[in-house]
Structures are given as C-alpha cells and as structure tokens.
C-alpha cells in the first residue's frame, strides 16, 4: 500500500452521514410500552468519523473532519469549539438525529435515522473536498454509514481514488463493506476495522464463533489480508481485539472495565490503533492501545470519547497467535 505524501500525524476523517447523537440514560431496564423516567440526557455532534476526530484532539493530534453540512450549521460550530477543524461539502438536507438508550447494566439500544438523500453532485463535492484535505495527511479514515442515495460502492471507489495520496482506514458495515471486499485488491485499504459480525459477513463465517474464538477470527481476517488489505483490526466485544497483517496475528484482552455505554467504543479502538501506529509502536502495542481505548470508551457515559488520561494499555493482555495456530 502506498504511503506517499504523509503528514506528521494529521488524521483526516470522512463522515458521509453525520448525526446529532442524543443519548438517554435510563434508571432501569428498558420496558416496551412503559412510561419511564430518565436519569439524564445528552446531545452531541457525532458520527463515527467525528468521534475519531474528537479522540485525536484529546490526544493532541491534528485532525480535519470532512462532512456534508452548511459551514454555519450549529453542528459545525460545536465541533470547531471542541478544537476540530471542519471542511464541509454541500449538504442534501438537515443533519439526521440518532437516539441511544442506555440501561444501568450497559445494555445499549440505538435508533438511527437514515439521513437526507444525496445525488451525484453532493457526492462529487464530498469526494473532491476529501481528496483536497487528504493530501499531506498521515491517514484518511472513512467511517460509518452512507446516506440514502449514495451508491453502496462509494467507499470502495474512494479507496481506489485516494491510493497513493495517503494511507486509508475504513470502518463500515452492511452493503458498503461487502462492496469494498468484492472490489479487492483494487479497493483494499491499509487498515480495515470490522467487528466480529461484520468480519463474518464478508468471510462466510459465523459471527458468534468469531467473537468467542480469536483463532477463528484470525483465520477469517487472514483471508482479507491475503486479498490485499494491509491490516485487519477486528473488535471482538468482551474478547478484546485481534490484529492481523502479513507478518502475523496478535490478540489482546482489554483491561477490566465496568461497561456503562458501548457507543463509540469501536471508533475509539480504531483511533487507539492509529495513535499507536503514528508513534511507531510494534503490532502488539498497537492492538494493546486499541483495546485500551475501546474499553475506556465503554466505561464512559453516552457518547463520551476517551482521552489519554482514561486509557490503560499496560493493563491489556496481548498474546501472539502463531501462524500455524491461527491460519
């Protein structure tokens, strides 16, 4: 994978379908049809790419968030006040609102809106904005869902377009992920971050088995590496995370954590990997920092993104998986 024109630590994030994330904390288990009181509620400008930019600012890294929005939108102002530079493209409509319900035991229920429908002009403007900002960056991160009207192959096309411009990480699911994998190796990113269910969906495996068995997950991830993906970082829920590249495989169990909300945990794991990579750390330390960031996010309320003060990579337990064992 090409690594030309890399900047010193700049992470550009693409959030093609941003959202206002409203989180409602319940004092008891969710009960359908009941009238429940709320402990507290929060609202925050969000989206998977935006979450990664928030983590970058907290860690002192330069970041630019690319997203479709009016430059004077309150959403953009909120991000700028948080220290995130934004580059906007022409929006198709109002930014969607996503609702998250959290229960005392950490159970999370998400209700996600689809967003405004886009056309080719919206997508062309978004892609051109992304390409301008990605020149000189260390990483470009494509994260989250696509808005209605966007072709499922948009991320695959953007990877091919930006190859040779910067290194690319992708975190998506469903049909966009399937199309990305269908297009390998042309659409191969430098880093792909699926969870167990997403990894299973593109390798023909069983998601529950992969989440429970890091060796099985390593075998599945190796299929993607063999087809051109530079590195696979697979998050495995309570089983931590798995890192597979052409040189080997490593599994990390997370630090002990009391789960409060899993919202943003996967985004935080991805950022932890990027931060470790930018620091020049070896694979075992990259996956350790990834699970430390993910578990820190799970221990924080709502969509709170952890900073370095929340993260304990030294408490992660990492073991290499021998090639003959994992593959």
Q: Which residues are catalytic?
A: 267
Beta strands in the chain (DSSP E): 11-14, 19-25, 40-46, 63-68, 85-89, 96-102, 108-111, 139-143, 167-171, 191-192, 231-235, 241-245, 248-253, 317-321
Q: How many helices (H) and strands (E) does the chain have?
A: 11, 14
Q: Is the previous residue joined to 65 through a cis bond, with omega within 30 degrees of 0?
A: no
Give the residue from 246, 240, 199 showing the smallest Cα distance to 226. 246
Is residue 61 within 8 Å of residue 7, measured between CB atoms? no
Angle between helices 265-278 and 283-298 (to 10 degrees): 150
Give the residue from 53, 58, 47 showing the smallest Cα distance to 85. 53
């Amino acid at each position: 994978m090409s690594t030309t024109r890399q900047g010193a630590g700049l992470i550009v994030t693409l959030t093609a379908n941003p959202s206002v994330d409203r989180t409602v904390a319940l004092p008891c288990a969710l009960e359908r049809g009941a009238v429940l009181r709320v402990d507290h509620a929060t609202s925050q400008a969000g989206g998977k790419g935006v979450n990664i930019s928030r983590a970058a600012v907290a860690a002192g890294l330069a970041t630019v968030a690319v997203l479709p929005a009016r430059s004077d939108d309150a959403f953009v102002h909120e991000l700028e006040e948080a220290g995130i530079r934004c580059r906007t493209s022409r929006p198709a409509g109002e930014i969607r609102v996503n609702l998250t319900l959290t229960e005392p035991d950490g159970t999370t229920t998400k209700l996600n809106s689809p967003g405004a429908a886009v056309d080719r002009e919206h997508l062309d403007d978004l892609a051109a904005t992304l390409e301008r900002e990605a020149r000189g960056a260390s990483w470009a991160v494509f994260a989250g869902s696509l808005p209605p009207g966007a072709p499922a192959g948009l991320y695959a096309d953007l990877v091919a377009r930006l190859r040779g411009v910067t290194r690319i990480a992708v975190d998506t699911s469903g049909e966009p992920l399937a199309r990305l994998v269908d297009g390998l190796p042309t659409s191969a990113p430098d880093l792909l971050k699926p969870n167990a269910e997403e990894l299973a969906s593109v390798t023909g495996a069983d998601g529950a088995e992969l989440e429970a068995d890091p060796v099985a997950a390593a075998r599945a991830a190796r299929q993607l590496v063999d087809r051109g993906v530079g590195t696979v970082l697979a998050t495995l829920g309570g089983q931590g995370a798995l890192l597979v590249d052409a040189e080997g495989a490593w599994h990390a169990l997370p630090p002990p954590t009391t789960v409060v909300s899993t919202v943003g945990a996967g985004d935080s794991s991805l950022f932890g990997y990027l931060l470790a990579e930018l620091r020049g750390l070896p694979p075992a330390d990259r996956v350790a920092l990834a699970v430390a960031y993910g578990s820190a996010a799970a221990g924080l309320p709502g969509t709170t993104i952890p900073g370095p003060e929340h993260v304990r990579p030294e408490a992660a337990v990492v073991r290499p998986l021998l090639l003959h064992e994992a593959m």
